[in-house]
């Protein structure tokens, strides 16, 4: 289950920044190991895509990803709060984020606390969001003298290739919930007690009533994608790469039971580390 529905974009300030300013494809379960230079393969018009592999393993002659710039502050994202999300959708996202951020299944334990309450609204704010990226123009110029490996097992006619040129990261997330005031206090107390579960994650409550979870991992919660197309010259001898910009979030799924991209009405991608 993804977090945001693309039809709520104009009503959600955080989603609007992520989609319109940064053109991110959002991950429903953030990943620690997503990287600039990841390549996804999609079978024609199929709704299925492969798990990611480095573009360096798909091209010949040997290709190196240009220098990656890291740690750019995403000022418009940090501190911007999402619109209210339904309890289940919001809790799905929170569980996935926290389970990746910290050990001992802390996200599942937090989820249990929220599901036992009568809360039906939840909002999110990413903490200290940063962006790692490569200059698309430089990347495009580096592709000039390369081609797709002809004998590569994942390369075939009618397949599509999606290249990650930037990733958005955060090491923490703040949440605010609504409900009966006593239930809010009881639930917040349960959640705060989880701070002792592991030293890898901290839990703090601020004066506005939101709870912030911070960990030592810097998780990727969104990626910028270009469709990478190889166009043959007339006669089929030689050709060139073309990087096509994406006008909307990619919709696809991975091999069951592991979904990679969200359903049709969703803007999130669900990746699974293997």
pLDDT confidence bin for 132, thresholds 50/70/90: very high
Percent over 90 (pLDDT), the chain: 29
- Checking if the pLDDT of 270 tops 50, the result is no
pLDDT in tens, 19-46: 888 888 877 667 888 999 999 888 777 7
pLDDT confidence bin for 249, thresholds 50/70/90: low
Q: Residue 204's domain spans which residues?
A: 6-265
Which has the higher per-residue pLDDT, 253 or 55?
55
- Checking if the pLDDT of 186 tops 70, the result is no
The residue among 18, 3, 86 whose CA lies nearest residue 270 is 3
Q: Is 74 among the domain residues?
A: yes
Q: Which residue has the tokens 């979870």?
A: 213
pLDDT confidence bin for 260, thresholds 50/70/90: very low
pTM confidence score:
0.82
pLDDT in tens, 92-118: 777 888 888 876 677 787 777 666 655
Yes or no: say if 227 and 237 are a contact pair by the CB < 8 Å rule: no
Q: Is 112 among the domain residues?
A: yes
Instruction: Choose from 87-91, 140-144, 231-235 the range with maximum mean pLDDT.
Output: 140-144
Q: Is 1 among the domain residues?
A: no
Percent over 70 (pLDDT), the chain: 69
Q: Is 117 among the domain residues?
A: yes
Specify the number of domains making up the chain.
Answer: 1
Q: Is 166 among the domain residues?
A: yes
Q: Is 184 among the domain residues?
A: yes
Q: Is 96 among the domain residues?
A: yes
The pLDDT value recorded for residue 211 is 83
CB proximity list for 211: less than 8 A, separation 6 or greater: 174, 175, 176, 188, 191, 192, 203, 204, 205
Q: Is 270 among the domain residues?
A: no
């Amino acid at each position: 289950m993804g977090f945001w529905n693309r039809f709520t974009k104009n009503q959600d300030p955080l989603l609007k920044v992520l989609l319109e300013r940064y053109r991110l494809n959002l991950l429903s379960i953030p990943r620690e190991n997503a990287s600039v230079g990841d390549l996804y393969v999609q079978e024609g018009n199929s709704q299925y895509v492969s798990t990611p592999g480095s573009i360096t393993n798909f091209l010949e002659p040997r290709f190196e990803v240009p220098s990656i710039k890291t740690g750019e502050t995403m000022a418009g994202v940090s501190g911007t709060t999402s619109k209210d999300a339904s309890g289940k959708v919001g809790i799905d996202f929170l569980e996935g984020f926290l389970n990746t951020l910290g050990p001992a299944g802390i996200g599942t334990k937090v989820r249990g606390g929220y599901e036992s309450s009568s809360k039906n609204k939840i909002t999110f704010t990413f903490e200290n969001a940063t962006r790692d990226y490569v200059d698309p123009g430089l990347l495009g110029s580096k592709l000039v003298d390369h081609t797709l490996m002809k004998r590569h097992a994942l390369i075939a006619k009618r397949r599509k290739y999606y290249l990650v040129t930037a990733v958005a990261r955060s090491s923490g997330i703040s949440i605010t919930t609504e409900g009966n005031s006593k239930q809010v206090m009881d639930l917040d107390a349960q959640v705060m007690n989880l701070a002792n579960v592991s030293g890898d994650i901290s839990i703090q409550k601020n004066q506005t009533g939101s709870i912030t979870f911070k960990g030592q991992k810097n998780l990727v919660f969104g990626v910028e994608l270009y469709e990478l197309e190889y166009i043959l010259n007339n006669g089929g001898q030689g050709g060139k790469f073309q990087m096509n910009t994406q006008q909307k979030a990619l919709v696809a799924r991975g091999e069951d039971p592991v979904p990679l991209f969200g359903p049709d009405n969703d803007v999130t991608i669900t990746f699974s580390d293997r």
